[in-house]
Amino acid sequence: MCGRFSLTTTRIDLARELALPLDAIPAGLAPRWNIAPTQQVVVLRDQDGLRLDLLQWGLVPEWAKDPSIGNRLINARAETLADRPSFKVSFRRHRCLVVADGFYEWVTTKNGKRPYFIHFLDGRTFAFAGLWERWTARGGASLESCTIITTAANDLIADLHHRMPVILPPERHGEWLQPESLTVGRLNELLVPHPAGEMAAYQVSTHVNRPGNDDAECIARVEG
């Protein structure tokens, strides 16, 4: 699964890495070391052109009576996207990329749960495959939200957890984001584990366990 992640890249570097004009990056974007469910996340969408937007993490389907359902829909399993009522419409029409530069996983030990930080060896920014939706309240106010798609773990992450977020390589971003429908078969071909050889993981302190702790200490390596 994916329950916390980081995005500390600056606006200028995001524009460069994603090949976007600076005005397509949300103003006031600050480094985040400990992004948690229900908070705002940076999402790349094709809305008459590529741009980054801030959406709530935890997808609220358009048919939902209560937006609190999003608290339970922070992740979506790749294997069941086309069938689950919560995701099947978004899977066809509202695909997005959730931008990150690392994420966390917890391992249960006899001394409690130990958090690990997972990132690319070269430190680059990357993108999770995601879905987004727009929910409208009775009064007319709207909420845009998203979920992160997960798949089976690669060899690195399998030692920590049996699931991992789908990380799409840059050459697949355009295909995933295109507004036209893709066949379910082709979509499923994209939702595979990222190669483990490009990634690394190390143990961090339990400082990251508290969502209110959002600083560089969250990703500081500890021996264990």
What length is written for the chain? 224
Spell out the residues 6+ positions from residue 201 whose beta carbon is closer than 8 angstroms to its own: 105, 116, 117, 118, 119, 156, 157, 160
105 is catalytic: yes
96 is catalytic: no
Q: What is each CA distance from 74 to 8, 21, 42, 86, 178, in whole angstroms?
A: 21, 29, 14, 11, 23
d(CA 167, CA 149): 9
The CB density around residue 48, as the number of other CB atoms within 10 Å, is 7
The single residue of 2, 96, 146, 218 carrying the catalytic annotation is 2
* Identity at 108, one-letter amino acid code: T
Q: Environment class of residue 87 by beta-carbon count within 10 Å: exposed (0-12), middle (13-18) or buried (19+)?
A: buried
Tokens 């999770």 appear where? Answer: 128
The single residue of 96, 105, 146, 218 carrying the catalytic annotation is 105
Which positions are catalytic? 2, 105
